Structure formats: structure tokens, C-alpha cells
């Protein structure tokens, strides 16, 4: 008779970003005993909020706008509203201004958006209508590891449009407005727009803009963290902070350990347990561009010239597709653009709790070369001023973070890469290593569940969700498809 080995927990999850929380919740919902460890004094990873500038001004330190949280199969059905989570959805998901004073906008319906694209309206309808219709059939397959899709025809329809580069997809359009709108969406991929499959992230963002919008959580991104943590604790889970893991021997005994960390940290913690080929693959994992981020406390809203930009929670600043493509290409090649593509969020337009009465906040970042430690404040503020004359006069205070400071804040952001690694065609489904399951390491009972696994960066929890399902099947011999 085999003696059962006593363990402190069924599972330990290292790291409390959205994926660590998702993994912990998924396992705890099955009645397992789960401990969630966080190295900082506050949980959340990229989902934290703080008064970075002045008292009363609440800023999202990393993630700000959350279309994928609404779309994620993990979040669907969780009773997070019972734990204080409230989303606010703007009437305009995203706006893209041009030098001529006009703006392209992503509106709730395809028809509304197409109606603003002039001669490209019909082309936009033909592109988006089947994708929006198919999304419920393909979302679980797209937001997960490479596998045989449950709806092959629908998956293929998406793939035919998503595999080309953003520049190739833009060839369908003739107007500056449609091409610029697509470029701003594709630039969220954090790689040159000439790369294959850069159309994918653009299409996913536009699809979800039409299905559920691009919401912001009331009170800041930390509201998502607080709701997830409260739910996890209510299920019986345990959380410990100020517990920075650098080696396996620090951990209490458990049948499974899931790491919400990147390949570099995973090698440091558990590399001695891995096979030579697995270590070799992790050592060659590729990271992408970094970011430089600014938060502003403002004396009033950003005075955009285009009226639509004054109503959108998210604004893409980069003018034409040609200018955006040049900016992203330069940063990827290690150069600094004088006119960087800037992603700007103005959450206080929707959520008055973010700033004192009559005041506002704004959040923005641009892509920079990997590990770049230079100051992009002037370049970013010049871009904002370009489309919003008088912006600088409204700045009361600012807080900046360069790529190195981003990594110091969150060790998963190696070189300032907020995507957890370059998400190009070579690393979309094979991150962080080429394996039958990207979540399993070569050591029994050890799993990786960070954004360095499919489907990559973003607040969706799907990396943790899929890693937990793998552990349920391997270690606990349970059917992961019978999740509550």
C-alpha cells in the first residue's frame, strides 16, 4: 500500500497578476486548498491603481481599459459584481484623430462605425460582420493554446483575415480614416505593422468593441484585483504578500505549483529541475519592445481638437498608418521616434471617482526600444499637444516610468515589455517553449501560467485558467472541462 505524502496545500500559485488570480480561483473552485503568493506588498501585478501624482488623483499604474476582461471565458460567469466590481462602458470605444481635425472612431455597432468611414464603409462591414458573428464560436480557441478548433470553418474565416500583416490588411481600405483606425488597433501588438499576424490583435479589439465595448472599472484597475481576491478568499483560498520567491525551497509543500512569472524568473527559481532542452528553449525566449509611460493630473479634460476624442476613453495618437508604421518599426530596431505612436486613456471622463471635482486624469504610453531608459516625456506630450492644443497648460503634475522602471515595478515586464514576450507569429502559440502544452514545464507538478504563455498579454486571465486546467488533469486527475 502506497503511503500518501502529506502536503501543506494542494496547489501554490506564485504571482498575483490577473493570470495568477485566475489560476488560483480556477483551482479553488474545485475544492482544492490553494495558497497565492505575491512578492510585493500589494497583489495585482499589472492591475493596480494609486495616487501617483497628487492626492485625490487615482491612476492605473499599468492596465487601464479592459475589452478582453469582458470577452474572456474565464471572467464570464464569475460573480464579481457581488464583490464591488463595476464596469463603465464609453459610447466611443476608441478614437483616432488626424492632423486635419477629424477623427475615426470605433462605435458600438458595425453600422455606426462604417458610416463614419466614407468610401470604406462597405469594406468595413464586409470585413467585420462575419467576424463579430463568429466570435462566440471561436473566442475560446483564440484565447488559448494551439489545438484543433471546435468550429473549424469559423476559425478559418478569422485566420484568413488575421494572418496577414496589418499593412497587408490595410490594403483593403482607401481612406486615411479606415487605414489609420486599423493601424492604431494593430499597434497594440507591440511589433512592426509589417509582421505577419499583426492584423489579429486589431481584429480582436474591434470585434470586442462591437460586442461589449472597451470598459473601464469604476475606481481603477485595482477594483478588478480586489474583486477577484475577495472572491478567491470567499472560496476558502489564502493569500500572502511580501513573499518574493527566488528558489523552490522557499515554498511550502504542494502537489502542484503554478508560476505567474516570465521565463527568466522561472529559470532562476526552478531551472535546476528542468530538462536541458526545456532550459535551452526558455533561455532563447524573445522579448519585444518596452514602454515609456506617463500619468497626468490635469486641471481639466484633454482639449482635443476633434470633438469625438473628448468622449472616448481610449485615444490613439499617430495620425496616418504610414506614420504609425514608421514609429513602431523604429522602436523595434532600437531607435527612438520623434513622433511616437501614443496610446492615451482618459478614464476620468467616465469615472468621476478618479479625480477631484472639476479635475481629470490621463494615462499614456509609447513603445520604445527594449530596456530603453531614456526620457520620452517631451515626445509624448508633443504628440498630445499636436492633437489637443493647450494640453500642457492643463498639467498639474506628472508621473513617469521608463522601461527599466516598469521592470522594477513588475519583474514580469522584462526590458519594459508589458506583453510578457514578443507576440509575433513564432511565439503566439509556442510561448514560452514548443511543447504539447505550453503551460507544463519539464518538471512534474510545475507549471507556468503568466502572459508568457498563450494567449499572451492582456487582462483576460486565460493563461492562468488554461494552466490550472492542465494541472487539474495531470496532478489531480480531474476532468478540467467540468469546471463550474
For residue range 358-395, list pLDDT tens digits in order.
999 999 999 999 999 999 999 999 999 999 999 999 99
User: What pLDDT score was predicted for residue 271?
Assistant: 96
Is pTM beyond 0.85 here? yes
CATH code of 87-215+289-409, in short, is 3.90.660
With 90 as the cut, is the pLDDT of residue 70 above it?
no
User: What pLDDT score was predicted for residue 213?
Assistant: 95
User: What pLDDT score was predicted for residue 5?
Assistant: 47
User: What pLDDT score was predicted for residue 2?
Assistant: 35
With 50 as the cut, is the pLDDT of residue 331 above it?
yes
User: What pLDDT score was predicted for residue 71?
Assistant: 83
User: What pLDDT score was predicted for residue 3?
Assistant: 40
With 90 as the cut, is the pLDDT of residue 200 above it?
yes
With 60 as the cut, is the pLDDT of residue 263 above it?
yes
Rounded mean pLDDT, 224-232 = 98
With 80 as the cut, is the pLDDT of residue 4 above it?
no
DSSP 440: B
How far is the CA of 14 from the CAs of 122, 157, 220, 425, 445, in angstroms? 49, 38, 24, 28, 13
Least confident of 139-153, 171-185, 338-352, 386-400: 139-153
- Mean pLDDT estimate for the chain: 95
User: What pLDDT score was predicted for residue 6?
Assistant: 59
With 70 as the cut, is the pLDDT of residue 161 above it?
yes
With 80 as the cut, is the pLDDT of residue 483 above it?
no
Cell of 166: 496589418
Cα–Cα dist 431/124, whole Å: 32
Helices (H), 72-151: 110-115, 121-142
Instruction: Write 177-180 long-range contacts (CB < 8 A, 24+).
Output: 177/96, 177/98, 177/102, 177/104, 177/116, 177/117, 177/118, 177/120, 178/104, 178/117, 178/118, 178/120, 178/123, 178/124, 179/320, 179/321, 180/96, 180/98, 180/104, 180/318, 180/319, 180/320, 180/321, 180/324
Q: E strand or H helix at 186, and its extent?
A: helix 176-186
Q: Outline which parts of the chain fall under CATH 3.90.660.
A: 87-215+289-409
Cα–Cα dist 249/468, whole Å: 22
Q: Are 50 and 42 in contact (CB under 8 A)?
A: no
How far is the CA of 416 from the CAs of 198, 246, 290, 365, in angstroms? 20, 20, 4, 11
How many CA atoms, within 13 angstroms, populate the side-chain half-sphere of residue 31? 3
> Which of 51, 421, 480, 50 is closest to 265 using CA atoms?
421
With 60 as the cut, is the pLDDT of residue 23 above it?
yes
With 60 as the cut, is the pLDDT of residue 156 above it?
yes
Instruction: Find the helix packing angle between 198-211 and 176-186, rounded to 10°.
Output: 100
What is the percent of the chain with per-residue pLDDT over 70, rounded to a whole number?
98
Rounded mean pLDDT, 461-469 = 97
User: What pLDDT score was predicted for residue 1?
Assistant: 33
Least confident of 84-88, 446-450, 479-483: 479-483
User: What pLDDT score was predicted for residue 479?
Assistant: 83
The pLDDT tens digits of the residues spanning 118-131 come to: 999 999 999 999 99
Q: Outline which parts of the chain fall under CATH 3.50.50.60.
A: 9-52+64-85+217-285+417-482
Residues ≥6 apart with Cβ < 8 Å to 245: 14, 37, 39, 251, 269
The CATH superfamily assigned to 9-52+64-85+217-285+417-482 is FAD/NAD(P)-binding domain (3.50.50.60)
Amino acid at each position: 500500500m502506497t503511503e500518501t505524502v502529506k502536503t501543506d496545500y494542494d496547489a501554490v500559485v506564485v504571482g498575483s497578476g490577473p493570470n495568477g488570480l485566475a489560476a488560483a480561483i480556477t483551482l479553488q473552485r474545485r475544492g482544492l486548498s490553494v495558497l497565492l503568493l505575491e512578492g510585493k506588498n500589494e497583489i495585482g501585478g499589472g492591475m493596480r491603481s494609486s495616487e501617483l501624482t497628487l492626492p485625490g488623483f487615482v491612476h492605473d499604474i499599468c492596465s487601464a481599459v479592459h475589452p478582453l476582461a469582458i470577452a474572456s471565458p474565464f471572467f464570464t460567469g464569475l460573480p464579481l459584481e457581488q464583490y464591488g466590481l463595476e464596469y463603465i462602458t464609453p459610447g466611443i470605444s476608441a478614437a483616432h484623430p488626424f492632423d486635419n481635425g477629424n477623427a475615426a472612431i470605433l462605435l458600438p455597432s458595425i453600422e455606426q462605425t462604417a458610416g463614419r468611414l466614407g468610401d470604406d464603409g462597405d469594406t468595413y462591414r464586409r470585413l467585420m460582420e462575419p467576424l463579430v458573428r463568429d466570435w462566440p464560436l471561436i473566442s475560446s480557441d483564440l484565447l488559448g493554446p494551439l489545438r484543433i478548433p471546435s468550429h473549424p470553418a469559423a476559425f478559418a474565416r478569422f485566420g484568413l483575415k488575421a494572418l496577414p500583416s496589418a499593412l497587408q490588411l490595410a490594403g483593403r481600405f482607401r481612406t486615411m480614416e479606415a487605414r489609420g483606425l486599423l493601424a492604431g488597433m494593430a499597434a497594440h501588438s507591440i511589433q512592426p505593422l509589417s509582421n505577419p499576424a499583426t492584423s489579429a490583435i486589431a481584429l480582436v479589439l474591434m470585434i470586442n468593441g462591437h460586442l461589449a465595448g472597451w470598459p473601464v472599472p469604476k475606481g481603477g484597475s485595482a477594483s478588478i484585483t480586489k474583486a477577484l481576491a475577495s472572491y478567491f478568499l470567499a472560496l476558502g483560498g489564502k493569500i500572502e504578500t511580501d513573499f518574493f520567491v527566488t528558489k523552490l525551497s522557499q515554498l511550502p509543500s504542494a502537489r502542484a505549483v503554478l508560476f505567474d512569472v516570465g521565463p527568466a524568473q522561472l529559470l532562476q527559481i526552478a531551472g535546476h529541475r528542468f530538462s536541458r532542452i526545456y532550459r535551452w528553449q526558455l533561455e532563447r525566449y524573445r522579448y519585444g519592445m518596452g514602454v515609456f509611460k506617463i500619468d497626468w493630473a490635469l486641471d481639466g479634460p484633454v482639449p482635443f481638437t476633434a470633438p469625438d476624442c473628448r468622449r472616448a476613453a481610449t485615444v490613439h495618437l499617430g495620425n496616418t498608418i504610414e506614420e504609425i508604421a514608421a514609429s513602431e518599426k523604429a522602436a523595434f530596431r532600437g531607435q527612438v521616434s520623434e513622433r511616437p505612436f501614443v496610446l492615451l486613456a482618459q478614464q476620468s471622463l467616465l469615472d468621476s471617482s478618479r479625480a477631484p471635482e472639476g479635475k481629470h486624469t490621463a494615462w499614456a504610453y509609447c513603445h520604445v526600444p527594449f530596456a530603453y531608459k531614456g526620457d520620452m516625456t517631451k515626445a509624448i506630450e508633443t504628440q498630445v499637444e499636436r492633437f489637443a492644443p493647450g494640453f500642457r497648460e492643463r498639467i498639474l503634475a506628472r508621473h513617469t516610468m521608463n522601461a527599466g522602471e516598469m521592470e522594477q515595478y513588475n519583474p514580469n515586464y522584462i526590458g519594459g515589455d508589458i506583453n510578457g514576450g514578443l507576440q509575433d507569429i513564432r511565439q503566439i502559440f509556442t510561448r514560452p517553449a514548443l511543447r504539447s502544452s505550453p503551460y507544463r514545464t519539464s518538471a512534474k507538478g510545475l507549471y507556468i501560467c503568466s502572459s508568457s504563455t498563450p494567449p499572451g498579454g492582456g487582462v483576460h486571465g486565460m493563461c492562468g485558467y488554461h494552466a490550472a486546467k492542465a494541472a487539474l488533469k495531470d496532478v489531480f486527475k480531474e476532468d478540467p472541462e467540468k469546471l463550474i
